């Protein structure tokens, strides 16, 4: 069955605020905070960002992977190249467009999303795993699994984990509401903060039933959510716990999450396109009953909080609620 962009598949609906007593949550409890190690930053106009992480071993010197040390491209692709594997979708501030990025750093801009550059043809030490846009939409960051950060347009480079020892690979990132910093999250729940991103705790060094697969930042900039592959939710700072899928049967693993604009709820998405809503996150449909050849890789919410996009690894987009697809 082919993709139906914008169609609302009548897949499983999960009632908001389903709580999981089987999954413990850690609300705001900081663990293993490191304040003495500096991430290695080779230029890009910024001083080294302070590393605050619960999961990292002490930093060791190495060649940082940053926007300054890579030969980047000023252009974006018109489509994901053959062999590309889309890892993230990031909307513009107005919701009138979005960017897709693959594991090689190829970027495709849709709607009112503008191209600020890409890593097309650039040799990478590790694959790209995430992306975040600036508040104005005039730039974006990419993060690689080794913690390397690549900044484009008006996105500022505030440090990276490139060249540093990591206990587990980076799996995602989130930018602060002002665009003055960002968080990186590792699969073991370790959190790394740069610029004006605050450290409010992590799961680094704690037992996890399943690895962390993504994160979302609180709109207050003083907290964040982490989501695990089994749907477990971990909250820190001002991020509130509104339920999880931890300990509940899933047809497919969770691959990502998005928070509502008010921070009063969140969505989880599974690799089959199933959507799970909590708090004030509305259910606008899912792709859980749609048959497609490539798994869903992630999601993003519209600025209004009344819709969302899902993206598959082949670049196909599913739009629900007030989200639209663009060419």
* Chain segment 206-226, per-residue pLDDT in tens: 999 999 999 999 999 999 999
Residue 44 has pLDDT above 70, yes or no: no
SS3 sequence of the chain: CCCCCCCCECCCCCCCCCCCCCCCCCCCCCCCCCCCCECCCCCCCCCCCECCCCCCCCCCCCCCCECCCCCCECCCCCCCCCCCCEEEEEECCCCCEEEEEECCCCEEEEECCCCCCECCCCCCCCCEEEEEECCCCCEEEEEECCCCEEEEECCCCCCCCCCCCCCCCEEEEEECCCCCEEEEEECCCCEEEEECCCCCCCCCCCCCCCCEEEEEECCCCCEEEEEECCCCEEEEECCCCCCCCCCCCCCCCEEEEEECCCCCEEEEEECCCCEEEEECCCCCCECCCCCCCCCEEEEEECCCCCEEEEEECCCCEEEEECCCCCC
Residue 229 has pLDDT above 50, yes or no: yes
**What mean pLDDT is predicted for residues 30-53?**
29
Q: How much is the mean pLDDT over the chain?
A: 82
Residue 30 has pLDDT above 60, yes or no: no
How many whole angstroms separate alpha carbon 144 and alpha carbon 90? 16
CB atoms within 10 A of CB 43: 11
Q: Return the exposure string of 143-174: e unless at least 16 CB atoms fall within 10 Å of the residue's CB, then b.
A: bbbbbbbbbbbebbbbbbbbbbebebbbbbbb
**What mean pLDDT is predicted for residues 26-37?**
28
Residue 251 has pLDDT above 70, yes or no: yes
Q: Please say whether the beta carbons of 309 and 296 come within 8 A.
A: no
For 118-127, the pLDDT digits (tens) are: 999 999 999 9
Q: Return the exposure string of 205-229: e unless at least 16 CB atoms fall within 10 Å of the residue's CB, then b.
A: ebebebbbbbbbbbbebbbbbbbbb
Which region among 73-77, 78-82, 145-149, 176-180 has the lowest average model confidence (pLDDT)? 73-77
Q: What is the pLDDT of residue 11?
A: 32
Phi, psi of 91 (to 5 degrees): -80, 160
Which region among 77-81, 188-192, 230-234 has the lowest average model confidence (pLDDT)? 77-81
Closest CA relative to residue 311, chosen from 7, 2, 106, 5: 5
49 to each of 161, 178, 180, 203, 240, how far by Cα in Å? 9, 16, 11, 21, 27
For 256-297, the pLDDT digits (tens) are: 999 999 999 999 999 999 999 999 999 999 998 887 789 999
How many whole angstroms separate alpha carbon 264 and alpha carbon 246? 19
How many whole angstroms separate alpha carbon 41 and alpha carbon 68? 9
Q: What is the pLDDT of residue 288?
A: 82
Q: Are strands 223-228 and 233-237 parallel, antiparallel or unpaired?
A: antiparallel
Percent of the chain with pLDDT over 90: 73
Q: How many angstroms from the chain centroid is the CA of residue 252?
A: 19
Q: What is the pLDDT of residue 327?
A: 84
pLDDT band with cut points at 50, 70 and 90 for residue 73: confident
pLDDT band with cut points at 50, 70 and 90 for residue 71: low
Hey, where are the domains in the chain? 1-28+207-327, 32-205
pLDDT band with cut points at 50, 70 and 90 for residue 247: very high
Residue 16 has pLDDT above 50, yes or no: no
pLDDT band with cut points at 50, 70 and 90 for residue 3: very low
Q: What is the pLDDT of residue 208?
A: 98
Residue 23 has pLDDT above 80, yes or no: no
Per the structure block, which two tokens stand in for 158?
């505030």
Q: What is the pLDDT of residue 46?
A: 28
């Amino acid at each position: 069955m082919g993709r139906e962009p914008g169609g609302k598949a009548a897949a499983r609906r999960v009632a908001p605020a389903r709580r999981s007593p089987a999954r413990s949550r850690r609300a705001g409890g900081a663990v293993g905070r490191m304040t003495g190690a500096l991430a290695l930053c080779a230029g890009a106009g910024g001083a080294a960002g302070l590393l605050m992480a619960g999961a990292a071993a002490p930093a060791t010197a190495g060649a940082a992977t940053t926007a300054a040390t890579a030969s980047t491209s000023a252009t974006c692709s018109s489509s994901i190249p053959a062999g590309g594997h889309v890892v993230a979708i990031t909307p513009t501030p107005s919701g009138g467009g979005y960017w897709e990025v693959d594991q090689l750093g190829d970027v495709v801009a849709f709607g009112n999303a503008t191209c600020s550059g890409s890593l097309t043809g650039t040799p990478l030490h590790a694959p790209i795993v995430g992306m975040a846009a600036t508040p104005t939409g005039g730039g974006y960051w990419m993060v690689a699994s080794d913690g390397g950060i690549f900044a484009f347009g008006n996105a500022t480079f505030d440090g990276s984990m490139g060249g540093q020892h990591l206990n587990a690979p980076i799996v995602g990132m989130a930018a602060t509401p002002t665009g003055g910093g960002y968080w990186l999250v590792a699969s073991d729940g370790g959190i790394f903060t740069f610029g004006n991103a605050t450290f409010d705790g992590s799961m680094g060094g704690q037992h996890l039933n399943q690895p962390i697969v993504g994160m979302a930042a609180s709109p207050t900039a003083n907290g964040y959510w982490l989501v695990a592959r089994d749907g477990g939710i971990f909250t820190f700072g001002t991020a509130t716990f509104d339920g999880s899928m931890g300990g509940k049967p899933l047809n497919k693993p969770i691959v990502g999450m998005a928070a509502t604009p008010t921070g009063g709820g969140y969505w989880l998405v599974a690799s089959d396109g199933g959507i799970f809503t909590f708090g004030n996150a509305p259910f606008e449909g899912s792709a859980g009953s749609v048959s497609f050849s490539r798994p869903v890789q992630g999601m993003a919410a519209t600025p209004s909080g009344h819709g969302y996009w899902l993206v598959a690894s082949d670049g196909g987009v599913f739009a629900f609620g007030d989200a639209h697809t663009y060419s």
